[in-house]
Amino acid sequence: MRRLLIVLFSLGLAAGCVSTSDSTETTVEPLETTSTTSRSQRTTEEPIDASGSTSVPSASGESDPRFASLDPGDPGGDAMGLAAARELGSIGDPTFPGLGNSGYDVQTYAINLDLTRPELVAETTVTLTALAELDSFHLDLVGLTIDEIRIDDEPALFMRDGREVIIRPPEPIESGQTVAVLVAYHGTPEPIADQDLPFNLGFQTQSWGTFVASEPVGAATWFPANDHPQDKALFTITISVPEGTTTAGPGQRTSSTTAEGVTTETWIAADPMSTYLASVATGAFDVSIETLDSGLVIRHAVHADAAIATGTELDTTVEMIAAFEERFGPYPFESYGILVVPEQLGFALENQTLSLFGTDIMTSPAAQPILAHELAHQWFGDNVSPAAWDDIWLNEGFATWAEWWWTERITGTNNVNTARFIPLEPLKGLPASGLFEINVYWRGGLTLEALRRDVGDEIFGQILREWSNRYGGGVASTQNFLDLVEELSGAGAADLVSQWIFAPTMPVLADE
Ligand SMILES: [Zn+2]
């Protein structure tokens, strides 16, 4: 998955990142939400505001009527300015037309979360490079109250419009200029509920602690973001918690200090990451850390209440990584591990370097296939991310194929001979509600299996490894994959893959 309306489990399959594993049907239960996360409490719009004032001086010391006209409720506003500003409020994703923002490229997010108080108090610095001259630009942020925005330490005007934060810098940002946008905010993060999903997206607060499940559109519930996979960035996340609480985050923990009853820990992800894959967790986690000869750090964080359910399922992680490296190329990040939370999530999610699981999947017969599925996503989805959400089969089809391959390896069987006889819908032109349907998983997996049977194991392996070589650290599209297949194995193989992706009637899988 992960973004959007995230993971659905349909037909007994986990969506989003979940897998459709085997014959086991996962019971879907909605996430519990605390009373403080009720969507009904969400503030949908706030007037233009900066530094807590409704009339903030611009850089020239006067309020700016043109920016004020961006108020969407002001019919007399500057239509040209409004249209231009709104155009910046989208990256043009066909499935989610309003998602993400254009006009700049985020370099880093430095997210500081204070979780020691009744509500979240946070500061995030978004360092971005303008791709055009910007009189204004957008960030995505859902709920929460913005206290102040500063650009290179100068106060900036801003307003809220749904999930868009429209920001007017004191002076236009020149094309190519890099600026630091500091956003100070507070409140209770409110997960995004959607009628198509049995659970909520984003930052989740539970009685035992917190965790994050954002795919596809939930990242903006806890930090201001250019919330689209296309704009990858480096992340530093610092979390303050009451002494005795454990934190978990992406990459590696680089510092931990405790003073006056507050523990502050910093997590740094060394590799570019899409916003939907960024995560943190807090609670009573048992953390195990092992550094392999290769330098890869394996660290799992299992909540104390989920430890018995987890059992020995994680013991195969190192063996699984070795097997996948042989098939897909080197593991792409500096660390990997599983976060197990004491929840019946109904899904698992491939947060980058720290896949999220609930106790339900860890206690089900599907644990091993889904562990393989989320691990495979580190190559397919996390390292090479979808250029658009409509390319989600590049995540889910690849992870499903890997899951099948692992399952056959350890059990001698898999779901290929079930999936191949089900008429599954094509893989493109998906509505938002269709991102995590079974066709994306099973027809996507069958597409790769059909390619493997056509070109043979050796060339198939070359294609998968070159996919990571070429597009790792960035995004890739379905057309990119078709082009690679043609380049490495010819037009006939590319045509076969194209049929599997687009044909209204699913092709017949050749026998081995
Ligand atoms: Zn998946």
How remote is the CA of residue 377 from the centroid of ligand 1, in Å? 7
How remote is the CA of residue 353 from the centroid of ligand 1, in Å? 14
pLDDT of residue 62: 36
pLDDT of residue 512: 87
How remote is the CA of residue 375 from the centroid of ligand 1, in Å? 9
pLDDT tens per residue across all 512 residues of the chain: 322 222 333 323 333 344 433 333 333 323 222 233 333 333 333 333 333 333 333 333 333 444 443 443 333 344 435 556 667 778 889 888 889 899 999 999 999 999 999 999 999 999 999 999 999 999 999 999 999 999 999 999 999 999 999 999 999 999 999 999 999 999 999 999 876 666 789 999 999 999 999 999 999 999 999 999 999 999 999 999 999 999 999 999 999 999 999 999 999 999 999 999 999 999 999 999 999 999 999 999 999 999 888 999 999 999 999 999 999 999 999 999 999 999 999 999 999 999 999 999 999 999 999 999 999 999 999 999 999 999 999 999 999 999 999 999 999 999 999 999 999 999 999 988 899 999 999 999 999 999 999 999 999 999 999 999 999 999 999 999 999 999 999 999 999 999 999 999 999 999 98
Q: What are the E-state strand segments in 53-177?
A: 104-114, 120-130, 137-140, 145-151, 154-155, 157-161, 164-168
Residue 340 near residue 301, CB atoms below 8 Å: yes
How remote is the CA of residue 399 from the centroid of ligand 1, in Å? 6
DSSP label at residue 450: H
How remote is the CA of residue 193 from the centroid of ligand 1, in Å? 20
pLDDT of residue 196: 66
How remote is the CA of residue 411 from the centroid of ligand 1, in Å? 21
pLDDT of residue 6: 28
> What kind and span of H or E run contains 480?
helix 478-489
How remote is the CA of residue 214 from the centroid of ligand 1, in Å? 13
Neighbours of 472 (CB within 10 A): 18
How remote is the CA of residue 356 from the centroid of ligand 1, in Å? 11
How remote is the CA of residue 18 from the centroid of ligand 1, in Å? 4
The Cα–Cα gap between 75 and 80 comes to 12
CA quadruple 497, 499, 503, 505: dihedral, nearest 10: -100
How remote is the CA of residue 441 from the centroid of ligand 1, in Å? 8
Question: Which structural domains are found in the chain, ordered by start?
Answer: 65-187 (2.60.40.1730)
How remote is the CA of residue 119 from the centroid of ligand 1, in Å? 32
How remote is the CA of residue 351 from the centroid of ligand 1, in Å? 10
How remote is the CA of residue 19 from the centroid of ligand 1, in Å? 6
- Helix ranges (DSSP H) in 40-199: 65-68, 79-87
How remote is the CA of residue 127 from the centroid of ligand 1, in Å? 30
How remote is the CA of residue 380 from the centroid of ligand 1, in Å? 9
How remote is the CA of residue 159 from the centroid of ligand 1, in Å? 36
Query: Residue 168 is which amino acid?
Result: R
How remote is the CA of residue 111 from the centroid of ligand 1, in Å? 26
pLDDT of residue 97: 85
How remote is the CA of residue 68 from the centroid of ligand 1, in Å? 43
Which residues are CB-contacts of 49 (< 8 A; sequence separation ≥ 6)?
56, 146, 158, 159, 160
The CB-side HSE value for 457 (13 A sphere, CA atoms) comes to 4
The DSSP-derived string for 290-340 is EE-TTSPEEEEEEEGGGHHHHTTGGGGHHHHHHHHHHHH-S--SSEE-EEE
How remote is the CA of residue 480 from the centroid of ligand 1, in Å? 20
How remote is the CA of residue 460 from the centroid of ligand 1, in Å? 21
DSSP label at residue 243: T
Residue 357 near residue 373, CB atoms below 8 Å: no
